[in-house]
Chains A and B, each alone.
Chain A
């Protein structure tokens, strides 16, 4: 087994031009394959799109983008380009914003996905001698199995710990010398308290050196805090079940944005309103076309995630373009004093200041003909030590950090535990009571 820097140097070290040539070739194959799918035949016909006449990448824009609604619009088997018996697994998204969506995988799809995640992990330095503790949920959620198989493929020792049971997680880390974990950032933060309760310091009492964090919005400052408290490097991961799961984009050791694996995905950044490409480097909605999936390819799939492409080449030598952190989702953005704001930004800040499970609500009101934004946050018993002073400090800190993140100064109200509606779905988090809220 090679111990070089690259898992798949042939793909990782392609130049920008080589990537574009490869994409065009693969895209033609994918479109050819799509002709076996009842859905795509109809989709092409409706758009007047002739896949065999595709001359350049730009020609793909003749097809309308698709999204979750497209996937939900009937039997998911319509998307298959292979007979059903070729399918070996299905994954399904969490369905937090509606009915679940299903993605079917053939054995080759699972293999290609595993290769991509292995490439990500290897890029950050995971090797055969590592002990990888996977603290993500297994099952329909792709985060668990995606990393599991990739770590095995690298040849690391995998501990399929799953989520929860904090004391056992720590016990496993200590018993087997875990060096790498895959974890939700808020859980990593929570686990610090458990370490402390047990009188342990992860820097001294574990062999941890790396963590992959994802599946949840978080700030750069929270990442740095985790790195410092655990004495590790923490890498950001991006993926979504419709694009197979993790392994779509990942940070390299330079931690300056996440490389999108452009040999396997065509990345477009579109203005969510006009669906036209945004100027290079500007923020827009990430839209992906799969180039590595045979069973259920997706063409121009709208993620509703907003990010931008970072300019220039990366110091690691990979030409695969990098994206910023996901700023928010197009479907829950709101505008206050002319500034676009996403609940995810508020959530990120609160997670950093308050830790796990902080329930919150955003109220938008018109006061003296002006927009006012009020953020109500529940204060749980373990957040303070009984002093008014602490609560005032907490409130000031939340206001300051929110102002930095969203560029608007909100009012922050500390609430009693359980006094806000439980956070089910994102819609209830934002209550718009402004006079122009309707029909504008």
Chain B
């Protein structure tokens, strides 16, 4: 199981700057970032090398941060790579609530981060379809 840090942030200049500064000072490395926006606020989703440390640091600095369980799936960095993951989940009726990906090794390996409602079931579906999932430790070691 992997974790990402979700942070509530007002949609206004300087907020991301402050957030990334906290992580920099904490020596946390960001692997991927995405922002889910509503009108005047958003939720910044961060995949980092040490999610627990990042979470603690952000809370200490007054951010409303939440440590969220996600699934990190290793996929091939080539046409159809993402499609195969989505098909495996779709065939078993698992709904993807949010997802983003990043490349680890160009044209070889990418990682898809998936948010679903029922994590254990989705993990089982992916494993039985032959996909490899990453833990926090493995993400840290990337």
Q: In the complex the two chains form, what is the Cα distance from A380 to B59 in whole Å?
A: 10
Residues of A within 8 A of B66 (CB): 381, 384-386
Nearest chain-A residue to B36 (Cβ)?
A: A388
Measured CB to CB, the closest approach of chain A to B51, in angstroms, equals: 12
Measured CB to CB, the closest approach of chain A to B118, in angstroms, equals: 14
Q: Is A391 an interface residue (CB 8 A)?
A: yes
Contacting pair A391 B41 (CB below 8 A):
yes
Contacting pair A379 B64 (CB below 8 A):
yes
Contacting pair A416 B42 (CB below 8 A):
no
Contacting pair B38 A416 (CB below 8 A):
no
Contacting pair B68 A391 (CB below 8 A):
no
Residues of A within 8 A of B10 (CB): 415-416, 419
Measured CB to CB, the closest approach of chain A to B72, in angstroms, equals: 16
Q: In the complex the two chains form, what is the Cα distance from A416 to B67 in whole Å?
A: 17
Residues of B within 8 A of A391 (CB): 8, 38, 41, 43
Contacting pair A417 B63 (CB below 8 A):
yes
- Asked whether A418 and B62 contact (CB < 8 A) given A386-B43, A388-B36, the answer is yes
Measured CB to CB, the closest approach of chain A to B94, in angstroms, equals: 17
Residues of B within 8 A of A171 (CB): none
Contacting pair A388 B9 (CB below 8 A):
no
Residues of A within 8 A of B62 (CB): 416-418
Nearest chain-B residue to A395 (Cβ)?
A: B38
Interface flags for A266-298 (1: CB within 8 Å of B; 0: not) read: 000000000000000000000000000000000
Q: In the complex the two chains form, what is the Cα distance from A413 to B36 in whole Å?
A: 17
Q: In the complex the two chains form, what is the Cα distance from A65 to B38 in whole Å?
A: 52
Q: Is A387 an interface residue (CB 8 A)?
A: yes
Nearest chain-B residue to A414 (Cβ)?
A: B41
Q: Is A8 an interface residue (CB 8 A)?
A: no
Q: Identify which of residues 36-56 in chain B touch chain A, using a CB-to-CB cut-off of 8 Å.
A: 36-38, 40-43, 45
Residues of B within 8 A of A381 (CB): 59, 63-66
Residues of A within 8 A of B45 (CB): 386
The residue that A416 contacts in the complex, of B6, B63, B68, with Cβ under 8 A, is B63
- Asked whether A388 and B63 contact (CB < 8 A) given A416-B8, A416-B10, the answer is no
Nearest chain-A residue to B6 (Cβ)?
A: A386
Residues of B within 8 A of A384 (CB): 8, 64, 66
Q: In the complex the two chains form, what is the Cα distance from A417 to B60 in whole Å?
A: 11
Contacting pair B59 A386 (CB below 8 A):
no
Q: Is A99 an interface residue (CB 8 A)?
A: no
Q: Is A221 an interface residue (CB 8 A)?
A: no
Please give the number of chain A residues whose Cβ is less than 8 angstroms from any Cβ of chain B in the complex.
Answer: 18
Residues of B within 8 A of A385 (CB): 66, 68
Residues of A within 8 A of B64 (CB): 379-381, 383-384, 416-417
A379, A381, A383, A391 — which one has the most chain B CB atoms within 10 A of its CB?
A: A381
Interface flags for A368-397 (1: CB within 8 Å of B; 0: not) read: 000000000001110111111001100000
Residues of B within 8 A of A419 (CB): 10
Contacting pair A386 B68 (CB below 8 A):
yes
Measured CB to CB, the closest approach of chain B to A354, in angstroms, equals: 12
Interface flags for B93-130 (1: CB within 8 Å of A; 0: not) read: 00000000000000000000000000000000000000
Q: In the complex the two chains form, what is the Cα distance from A413 to B41 in whole Å?
A: 9
Measured CB to CB, the closest approach of chain B to A412, in angstroms, equals: 10
Nearest chain-A residue to B68 (Cβ)?
A: A386
Nearest chain-B residue to A415 (Cβ)?
A: B10
Measured CB to CB, the closest approach of chain A to B65, in angstroms, equals: 6
Q: In the complex the two chains form, what is the Cα distance from A95 to B63 in whole Å?
A: 32
Contacting pair B43 A388 (CB below 8 A):
yes
Measured CB to CB, the closest approach of chain A to B69, in angstroms, equals: 10
Nearest chain-B residue to A381 (Cβ)?
A: B64
Residues of B within 8 A of A418 (CB): 62
Q: In the complex the two chains form, what is the Cα distance from A275 to B10 in whole Å?
A: 46
Contacting pair A388 B38 (CB below 8 A):
yes
Q: In the complex the two chains form, what is the Cα distance from A79 to B131 in whole Å?
A: 83
Nearest chain-B residue to A416 (Cβ)?
A: B10
Contacting pair B43 A416 (CB below 8 A):
no
Contacting pair B65 A388 (CB below 8 A):
no
Contacting pair B40 A413 (CB below 8 A):
yes
Q: In the complex the two chains form, what is the Cα distance from A385 to B6 in whole Å?
A: 8
Q: In the complex the two chains form, what is the Cα distance from A13 to B67 in whole Å?
A: 60
Contacting pair B43 A387 (CB below 8 A):
yes
Q: Identify which of residues 1-60 in chain B touch chain A, using a CB-to-CB cut-off of 8 Å.
A: 6, 8-10, 15, 36-38, 40-43, 45, 59
29 A–B pairs (Cβ distance < 8 Å), ordered by A? A379-B8, A380-B64, A381-B63, A381-B65, A383-B64, A386-B6, A386-B67, A386-B68, A387-B6, A387-B43, A388-B36, A388-B37, A391-B43, A392-B38, A413-B40, A413-B41, A414-B8, A414-B40, A414-B41, A415-B10, A416-B9, A416-B10, A416-B15, A416-B62, A416-B63, A416-B64, A417-B62, A417-B63, A418-B62
A residues whose Cβ falls under 8 Å from a Cβ of B: 379-381, 383-388, 391-392, 413-419
4 more A-B residue pairs beyond the given contacts A379-B8, A384-B8, with a C-beta to C-beta distance below 8 A: A381-B63, A383-B64, A413-B41, A414-B41
B residues whose Cβ falls under 8 Å from a Cβ of A: 6, 8-10, 15, 36-38, 40-43, 45, 59, 62-68
